[in-house]
């Protein structure tokens, strides 16, 4: 088998075949196979273009493995990392170690660059393979939920009224409007400056790429900035198994006065949201967690995705422990699959 399959660095010219393979394996409805999604995700990412390996057999593309670049921040220091995202093996070529060879090959490439760890939220199938390659489960991400109209939701589910395709709604603008607010830059400059848990630095560039330019995903924002302090809530409107869900993908709160603004914004979101429920995540017992709990969010007994990490260097020396859940300050926006 080893001779039949050749591994190459991913190149621009591979793109039509990559999209074809993604479409064949994941189906037509999936955003990943659209060229505009690929460009946005792997070429326009403010953390840099993605790196990947492909497998070819008899000239045909039979496997793909991509690492998306990311940057975390911790006590003001930037920590580069990569996120293991698109990986597929052609159905006729599965079970022959292609995913394994491609993934180990990518680990070598990023190790040489000095990247200290890889992270991702794998599905059940690939997770088993990752765990065999040294990945560790860091957590099953806890999810908070705020039912909006529980009786109506229960009745509808009992009557099996299918709302699939109908999204929740909200009185909120698109994220571009928040990016135009002159209060945004002073707010971001102060946000989480001393935060010691690993978090994505929320810069204007990042927010614009992630929430204003993501093709085909509907994000909305409410915000209130005042002289460097304030709060912002970014939400994604989605339908999930016939539930109209509004997901809080970001809850950004400045020190001090920000808490009051966040409380008022969450109250507005709950008042104007039309759907079945709001969901959110924040580190347990953090200020953000407490704000959500006070707004009526409760912890769901079932948790969200697995968050997994593969360390590449001995990071313990400088206190970096990405395989410990309490090292992280994540939002759903950091974790959702896109
Ligand atoms: C996940 C996927 C990429 C695996 O590809 P593959 O080339 O068949 O995987 P490999 O042969 O390299 O397997 C590597 C390891 O993963 C494990 N593994 C792979 N598929 C598995 C499965 N369906 N169930 C359990 N373990 C599995 C294998 O046990 C193997 O370990 P081993 O070598 O010790 O036996 C492939 O099944 C696929 O394309 N799935 C659809 C797309 C997808 O779900 N991608 C992941 C999220 S983007």
pLDDT in tens, 95-151: 999 999 999 999 999 999 999 999 999 999 899 999 999 999 999 999 999 999 877
Among 32-41, 57-66, 237-246, the range scoring the smallest mean pLDDT is 237-246
Measure 7 CA to ligand 1 centroid, in angstroms.
Answer: 17
Q: What is the pLDDT of residue 153?
A: 73
Strand partners of residue 118: 82, 310
Same domain flag for 127 and 264: no
Confidence of residue 238 (pLDDT cuts 50, 70, 90): confident
Q: Are 310 and 135 in contact (CB under 8 A)?
A: yes
In a domain, 199, yes or no: yes
Same domain flag for 16 and 38: yes
Among 72-86, 101-115, 159-173, 207-221, the range scoring the smallest mean pLDDT is 159-173
> What does the DSSP assignment read for 138-183?
EEEPP-EEEESSHHHHHHHHHTT---TTPPPB-S-EEHHHHHT-TT
Same domain flag for 173 and 285: yes
Model confidence pLDDT, tens digit, residues 159-200: 766 655 566 678 889 999 999 999 999 999 999 999 999 999
Same domain flag for 82 and 200: no
How many Å apart are CA 226 and CA 229, to the nearest integer? 5
Confidence of residue 245 (pLDDT cuts 50, 70, 90): confident
pTM of the model: 0.92
Atom 31 of ligand 1: nearest residue by CA position = 129
Q: What is the pLDDT of residue 112?
A: 93
Our mutation pick for probing the ligand 1 site, out of 99, 101, 103, 305, counting the most ligand atoms within 8 A of Cβ, is: 99
Measure 58 CA to ligand 1 centroid, in angstroms.
Answer: 21
How many Å apart are CA 233 and CA 249, to the nearest integer? 8
Q: Are 221 and 208 in contact (CB under 8 A)?
A: no
The single-letter DSSP state of residue 187 is H
- What's the whole-number average pLDDT of the chain? 91
Same domain flag for 166 and 298: yes
User: Tell me, what CATH number does 158's domain have?
Assistant: 3.40.630
Model confidence pLDDT, tens digit, residues 254-281: 988 899 999 999 999 999 998 889 999 9
Dihedral angle computed from the Cα positions of residues 150, 155, 161 and 162, in that order, rounded to the nearest 10 degrees: 30
User: Tell me, what CATH number does 102's domain have?
Assistant: 3.40.630.30
In a domain, 332, yes or no: no
Q: Mean of the pLDDT values across residues 302-308?
A: 90
**Given a cut of 80, is residue 325 above it in pLDDT?**
yes
Q: Are 59 and 50 in contact (CB under 8 A)?
A: no
Same domain flag for 27 and 99: yes
> In which domain, by residue range, is 73 found?
5-140
**Given a cut of 70, is residue 66 above it in pLDDT?**
yes
Q: Mean of the pLDDT values across residues 280-304?
A: 92
Q: Mean of the pLDDT values across residues 317-332?
A: 91
Q: What is the pLDDT of residue 159?
A: 72
Same domain flag for 66 and 152: no
Task: Extract the tokens encoding 151.
Answer: 């009786």
Q: What is the pLDDT of residue 246?
A: 93
Q: What is the pLDDT of residue 111?
A: 94
Ligand 1 closest atom vs CA 129: 16
How many Å apart are CA 104 and CA 139, to the nearest integer? 23
Rg of the chain on CA atoms, in Å: 21
Measure 95 CA to ligand 1 centroid, in angstroms.
Answer: 6
**Given a cut of 90, is residue 320 above it in pLDDT?**
no
Measure 127 CA to ligand 1 centroid, in angstroms.
Answer: 8
Same domain flag for 102 and 206: no
Ligand 1 closest atom vs CA 91: 39
Q: What is the pLDDT of residue 301?
A: 84
Q: Mean of the pLDDT values across residues 226-252?
A: 89
Measure 94 CA to ligand 1 centroid, in angstroms.
Answer: 7
Q: What is the pLDDT of residue 34?
A: 86
In a domain, 310, yes or no: no
Q: What's the number of domains the chain is made of? A: 2
Same domain flag for 90 and 150: no
Tell which of 120, 140, 160 closes a domain: 140
Q: Mean of the pLDDT values across residues 294-314?
A: 91
């Amino acid at each position: 088998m080893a001779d039949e399959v050749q591994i190459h660095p991913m190149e621009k010219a591979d793109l039509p075949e990559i999209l074809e393979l993604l479409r064949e394996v994941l189906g037509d409805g999936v955003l990943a196979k659209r060229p505009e999604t690929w460009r946005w995700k792997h070429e326009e990412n403010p953390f840099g273009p993605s790196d990947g390996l492909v497998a070819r057999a008899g000239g045909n593309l039979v496997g793909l493995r991509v690492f998306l670049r990311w940057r975390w921040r911790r006590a003001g220091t930037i920590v580069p990392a990569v996120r293991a995202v698109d990986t597929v093996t052609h159905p006729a070529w599965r079970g022959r170690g292609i995913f394994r060879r491609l993934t180990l090959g990518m680990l070598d490439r990023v190790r040489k660059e000095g990247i200290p760890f890889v992270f991702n939220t794998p599905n059940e199938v690939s997770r088993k393979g990752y765990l065999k390659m040294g990945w560790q489960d860091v957590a099953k991400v806890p999810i908070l939920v705020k039912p909006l109209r529980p009786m109506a939701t229960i009745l509808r589910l009992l009557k099996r009224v299918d709302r699939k395709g109908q999204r929740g709604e909200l009185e909120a603008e698109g994220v571009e409007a928040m990016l135009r607010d002159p209060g945004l830059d002073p707010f971001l400059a102060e946000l989480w400056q001393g935060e010691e848990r690993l978090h994505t630095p929320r810069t204007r560039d990042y927010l614009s790429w992630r929430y204003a330019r993501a093709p085909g995903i509907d994000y909305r924002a409410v915000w209130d900035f005042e002289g460097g302090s304030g709060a912002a809530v970014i939400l994604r409107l989605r339908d999930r198994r016939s539930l109209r869900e509004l997901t809080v993908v970001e809850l950004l709160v400045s020190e001090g006065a920000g808490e009051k603004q966040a409380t008022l914004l969450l109250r507005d979101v709950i008042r104007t949201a039309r759907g079945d429920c709001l969901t959110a995540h924040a580190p347990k017992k953090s200020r953000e967690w407490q704000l959500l709990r006070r707004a009526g969010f409760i912890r769901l007994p079932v948790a969200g995705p697995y968050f997994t990490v593969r360390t590449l260097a001995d990071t313990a020396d400088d206190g970096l422990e990405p395989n410990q859940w309490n090292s992280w300050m994540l939002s759903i926006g950091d974790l959702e699959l896109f």
